[in-house]
Amino acid sequence: MSDAVITVKNLNKTFGKTAAVEHLSFTVKADTCFGFLGPNGAGKTTVMKILYGKTVRDNNENCSVDVFGYDPADNELAIKSLSGVVQQEDNLDDELNVIENLTLYAKLYGLDRKTANKRIEYLLDFLELSAKSKSRIKELSGGNKRRLVIARALLNNPKLLILDEPTTGLDPQIRHLIWDKLYYLKKLGTTILLTTHYMEEAFQICDEVLIMNKGREIMCDNPQNLLKKHVEQFVLEVNSPELLIAPDKEELLKEIRIEKAEQTTRIYSNDNEKLKALAAKLEGSQYYLRQANLEDVFLRATGRRLDEKQ
């Protein structure tokens, strides 16, 4: 018996003439956190929506989508009953207050009143919203709204939690609080699928990250491997590359890689000392020497220029 919760093979989706997702395949194992990383318009949200039946995939022969053994094309209800979905927008019901929002969704999930009340009380406490239970939605801050949307997605005790940019636009405190909760849920055996722009988020909570761009997979691995395989260990960022000490060029070029963007030049190398030597003449404010992170992998993979979809 395999322990895959989601198996997607050769997924395609076109809107009119635009291909949103092309030949995408991936597998999400039970009790892990799988992250989609990609610029705006990469097709991340489309993939999420296909999984729970909000978007219908293209009808290709070799394509298959399997979530808990069900195909969203013909059994969306089974999948939605087993999953919790946090969509990108905080689409709470403005005409109801906090607790009414949760009560409504408890009904939609078919919970009886007693179970619902218990679950709501627990979730308000879990997401630190108990003090807000009677508040109107318009009175809530962005962080409160997000947490309420997450609470709503957890009402049915989902085996799979799908989160589309759960922490975008939130302050660091709330972001860390949400990460903590996601860790905890994963420990309890919830499989998590999320999309994000935050490299740190992907690095910290994902067991596996799929970087996509323009509807296609660029790379997929665990975060540590992505770093190891696709980018040098250190980066020197400078705004005025002409001030750098220029040693013997030939030899230097063997060990560094230079990326020029409009304002900033980034010099990548596995040899920290070499980068230090390069920057020796610069003052502290003129350069930034740091460890490479997932963002460098990401930008290297998806390019630094914007395309029209972003």
Partner 1 sequence: MRSSNPSIPSLSQRLYGVWYRHFKVYTSNLFSNALPPFLEPLLFLAGVGLGLSKYVTQTMEGLAYIEFLGTGLLMTSAMFTASFECTFGTFIRLEFEKVYDSMLASPLTVNNLIIGEILWAASKGFFFSFAVLCILAIFGIISLPHSLLVPFVGFITGAMFSTLALLVTSFVKTINHFNFYFTGVLSPMFFFSGVVFPVSDLPAKIRPLAELFPLTHSVRIARAVCINQYSANLLWDFLYIVIFIAVVGYFAVVRLRKRMIS
CB 48 within 8 A of CB 164: yes
x-or-dash string of contact with partner 1, 129-158, rule CB under 8 A: -----------------------xx-----
Using rule CB under 8 A, residue 77 touches partner 1: yes
Coil, helix or strand at residue 266: strand
Question: How buried is 96 (Cβ within 10 angstroms: 0-12 exposed, 13-18 middle, 19+ buried)?
Answer: middle
Strands 234-238 and 287-291: what pairing?
antiparallel
Give me the least distance between CB of 21 and partner 1, in Å please. Answer: 12
Q: Which of 61, 95, 242, 283 binds partner 1 (CB under 8 A)?
A: 95
Instruction: Determine the interface stretch with partner 1 among 31-39, 80-88, 206-214, 238-246 (rule: CB under 8 A).
Output: 80-88
Name which of 138 and 305 has its Cβ closer to partner 1. Answer: 138
Give me the least distance between CB of 157 and partner 1, in Å please. Answer: 10
Sequence-ordered alpha helix ranges (H) in the chain: 44-51, 76-82, 98-108, 113-126, 142-153, 172-187, 199-205, 223-230, 249-255, 272-278, 294-302
The Cα–Cα gap between 118 and 107 comes to 13
Using rule CB under 8 A, residue 63 touches partner 1: no
Give me the least distance between CB of 249 and partner 1, in Å please. Answer: 53
CB 79 within 8 A of CB 70: yes
Q: Which of 35, 43, 53, 223 binds partner 1 (CB under 8 A)?
A: 53
Using rule CB under 8 A, residue 73 touches partner 1: no
Using rule CB under 8 A, residue 85 touches partner 1: yes
Q: Which of 91, 141, 239, 272 binds partner 1 (CB under 8 A)?
A: 91
* Other Cβ atoms within 10 Å of 34 Cβ, number: 20
Name which of 15 and 122 has its Cβ closer to partner 1. Answer: 15
Using rule CB under 8 A, residue 96 touches partner 1: yes
Instruction: Determine the interface stretch with partner 1 among 105-113, 221-229, 242-250, 291-299 (rule: CB under 8 A).
Output: 105-113
Q: Which of 44, 80, 145, 266 binds partner 1 (CB under 8 A)?
A: 80
Helices and strands (H and E) in the chain: how many: 11, 13
The Cα–Cα gap between 225 and 233 comes to 12
The Cα–Cα gap between 116 and 154 comes to 11
Site residues (vs partner 1, CB under 8 A): 1-5, 15, 49, 52-56, 68-70, 76-82, 85, 87, 89, 91-96, 100, 104-105, 107-110, 152-153, 159
